[in-house]
Amino acid sequence: MKEDIVKKIQSLLKNKKLSMKEIFKNDPKRFEKYNLVHEGLFLDFSKNLFDHEIFELLLDLVQESSLKKKTKSMFLGEKINTSENRSVLHTALRFRNQCFCNEQIGKDIKNEKKRIKNLVEKIYNGSWKGFSGKKIEQVVNIGIGGSNLGPKMIIRALEKYHSKKVKIEFISNIDGYSIEKMLDNMNPESTLFIISSKSFSTGETLVNGKIACEWIINYFKDKKSIANHFISISTDTDKSKYFNIPSDNCFKIWEWVGGRYSLWSAVGIPIALAIGYKNFEKMLSGANSMDEHFKSANPSKNMPIILAVISILYSNFYKSQSQAVIVYSDRLKYLIEYLQQLDMESNGKSITLDTEKSFVQTGVTLWGGVGTNSQHAFHQLFHQGSIIVPIDFIMVKNIDHKFEENHRKLISNCLAQSQALMNGNNKEEIELDLKKSNLSKDRLNFISSHKEIPGNKPSNTIVLEEINPKNMGALVALYEHKIFAQGILWNINSFDQWGVELGKLLAGPIFESIESGKSSREFDSSTAGIIEYILRKN
């Protein structure tokens, strides 16, 4: 970020000591200025700690950055993931027309989409049968990270669109209890497994995949049964031979699709099976609509860019180290887990593209929950805690269930939270109310001090017109581009994840040590000591 603009913003914030209540009082049209609508998504960002002058300076950070150039480079397929020398082309998976960046990539995408569509049709019409001739009724996705979080999140959100043809389940964790419990409730004759791993070297996925393969083979007493009950998704389809999965059952993703951006690819097969291929395409269309908005809209009217600069305002100028997402829809409950990976794996970096230590804080801890549950769990910290936690509230305008009063109360709670965060309540108002209780002066002062809520806490509110495939596609793409824009402003690579890779690398020798029953002096004393304790017989 441009240091001179950063210093100007710092100086203004120090001198102005902004009060949102005063800002709204002095500008009756603030809400009109600071809200946006893009198709099925509405964004109110008026309840934030900036005035017109500071907002313009935040936009200057964008104008003085390489965001416009890097955005063009991303969509053209240039290798903006410099540490891995890769293109970043998940957006190509959702182009409405032929991919314009590379003719061969366009053909590959079109071919793989056709194969996904054919698979869904075969499962639906019963022509894909298990080894004993029964129709497929259960599909189990074995994958972790991007191969799990995205599909699971979308499938939960779009429950109202589910086909009754198949039931989708997910296994991700390597904890043996999870897969044991699932297999106990599965019928081998009607179950299809999806082994989803970009590299096809992910330890958790390979171990669980092996257990599932052995389960099928042991049931049918024939290795040929694998062909009826397994498909794979990977960049290297040859590795699927590890499980004897035939090539016709191997679906491809590409190196230019990051794992956390892969739900738009064949990794999204569970989504297509759950909601139908036409609805899967509608989801891609919604994401594409947000892509076009991000590419073409002026920064002052650009949803992803605005969310990015607001997030930077708090992390870099108010020194907030976490941000929250609170969803007022139970169907969006897995969105928080998905966004945690998308955000923290992307921007959890501190080295710039120039291989220097960033002079500003980069990345934040993202967390959240489902309202109104979260109100009874941790909103107390938001209201009276000593730290600022910027919040994105997400709610849905139109319902598709019959309990209208529940929905009205749900919306009321969401709006009340953002209002309370902004306005709070002051000691004088509390004391006036408490005087009816005939408390002593000291007790009145004591109670009112504890009940005082300072307010001036920021939030955004995102409203989905309804939860449908297109809107969900747009919502996910909104956050993808927000995170990308932040990374560009921070001058970091949002598309590698070397911290994740280190943990995978170190797990190998530790596993070998535990397998052999002996610890090693090569480990640090803590790790070696824990291994020895685990191996020690009771």
Name the residues annotated as catalytic.
345, 376, 504
Query: How does DSSP classify residue 425?
Result: B
**Which SS3 state, helix, strand or coil, does residue 396 take?**
strand
Contact 397, 463 (CB under 8 A): yes
In this structure, are strands 35-38 and 41-44 parallel, antiparallel, or unpaired? antiparallel
| 373: number of Cβ within 10 Å | 12
**Distance of alpha carbon 288 from alpha carbon 281, whole angstroms:** 10
Q: Are 237 and 252 in contact (CB under 8 A)?
A: yes
Residue with tokens 């869904």: 120
* Cα–Cα distance measured from residue 479 to residue 476, given in angstroms and rounded to the nearest whole number: 5
Q: How far apart are CA 458 and CA 441, in angstroms?
A: 34
Distance in angstroms (rounded) separating the CA atoms of residues 358 and 194: 41
* Sequence-distant (≥ 6) Cβ neighbours of residue 96 within 8 angstroms: 285, 288
Q: What's at 276, amino acid-wise? A: G
DSSP letter for each residue of 105-121: HHHHHHHHHHHHHHHHH
- The span from the CA of 446 to the CA of 536, in Å, is 56
The contacts of residue 54 (CB under 8 Å, 6+ apart) are 9, 12, 13, 16, 18, 313
Question: In a 3-state reduction of DSSP, which class is residue 243?
Answer: helix
Partners of 251 in beta bridges: 233
**What residues does 179 pair with on adjacent strands?**
none
Share of the chain residues as helix, strand and coil, in percent rounded to the nearest 5: 60, 10, 30
Q: Look up residue 93 and give its two tokens.
A: 């998976």
Q: How far apart are CA 214 and CA 275, in angstroms?
A: 30
d(CA 487, CA 490) in angstroms, rounded, equals 5
Q: How many residues does the chain have?
A: 538
